[in-house]
Amino acid sequence: MKRKHIISFIVLSFVLVFTSACGNGDKEQQADKQSKAEDNTENTVEELQLPKAALQKLDSGEDVKALQHALKEIGYDIKDNGEFDAATVWAITDLQMQKDLPLTGIYEQETAKVVKQLVEDASDFEPGKELPAKAEPATTDSGTNVIANPYEQLVLVNKENALPADYTPTDLVVPDINYPFTEDLPKKKVRKIAATAIEDLFAAADKAGLELFAQSGYRSYDRQETVFASNVQSLGEEQANQVSARPGESEHQTGLTMDVTSRDVGFQLNEEFAETDEGKWLAENAAKYGFIIRFPKGKEEITQYQYEPWHIRYVGKKAAKEITENDLTLEEYLTAE
């Protein structure tokens, strides 16, 4: 009997040891899997190698491809083709809208930080929530293409590309610059991303001993409708469309434009402004602050508007430099191969 008890005890002990060993093995395997999963998460963020340089429409290369890959990880349905295309601009703009960042459609330092955070954890993020991708293109009553993303800094507004009738920039502010009037009017305003730049521009002119005045900035769709109708009544529709835009087709609705004038021309908006000291200085220095003369002389067939030396448009320093140095219009810059 004792021998049987001893054998039973040995067998039972072996079973317990084996079971314990298996249990410990399972725990070790689970811990190993968890560790590998954590390592993979870290590696995913590291392997993405988010670009450090600012990127925008028309840029291309490996940095753009890395950014697109990160946006796909977050959940955006775009291609990682290495071209900063309209889909990439859309994704960046939507992300900026959701995260209360400056609305530019441009990838820069602040946006990069948010992209990195979302790659690590996008569980509560819904791509396209603020700027839904439109399945089909829309057109105005006159057949002009309606822009799907009116918020981007490089948005092209002209007689072929119109802003939505209900588009009002959400970040309009009154910059601290000179105006030839004191009334608190909407036309004093520009978008926040252009406000600091125009303040710097005016300050530089003042330092040069010149005095610029801002005559007309933001203009709503409804206001443009009134302006255009008035011009049609006095000039006829064909001539009216040479000096003003149909509602939706005016850059003033973007909040990125300002008409600039001076005392020497009685605060009027005319070609004589180009011959004033202020007008000459503006043409030579606007690009340093991210602005272009939107409708330059000799480019009327491209812009489809008369020469307007007073009309400046904010596009950012990078684009402004390239456009000005190469004597381009915004149309030429955005369609260059």
Which pLDDT belongs to residue 336?
Answer: 74
**Whose CA is closest to 153, among 218, 85, 97, 102?**
102
CA 36-37-40 angle, to 5 degrees, is: 85
CATH code for the domain defined by 168-218+255-335: 3.30.1380.10
With b for 16 or more beta-carbon neighbours within 10 A and e for fewer, the 189-221 pattern comes to bbbbbbbebbeebbeebeeeebebbbbbbbbbb
Find, among 258, 266, 278, the residue nearest to 210 by Cα: 278
Cβ-Cβ contacts under 8 Å for 119 (sequence gap 6 or more): 44, 45, 48, 50, 70, 73, 74
Report the pLDDT value the prediction gives residue 32, as an integer from 0 to 100.
53
Residue-level pLDDT at 141: 83
- Within the chain, which residues score under 70 in pLDDT? 1-48, 135, 337
pLDDT in tens, 237-252: 888 887 788 899 999 9
Task: Give CA–CA dist 231/224, Å, rounded.
Answer: 11
Distance CA 64, CA 85 (A): 10
pLDDT computed for residue 11 by the predictor: 43
Position of tokens 């002209």?
A: 158
pLDDT of res. 6: 43
pLDDT of residue 195: 98
CATH 3.90.1150.10 at 49-133, yes or no: no
pLDDT digits (tens, 9 = 90+) for 250-306: 999 999 999 999 999 999 999 999 999 999 999 999 999 999 999 999 999 999 999
Give residue limits of the domains in the chain. 1-37, 49-133, 168-218+255-335
Provide the pLDDT for residue 182: 95
pLDDT at position 126? 97
List, for residues 118-147, the tens digit of each pLDDT value: 999 999 999 999 999 876 789 988 889 999
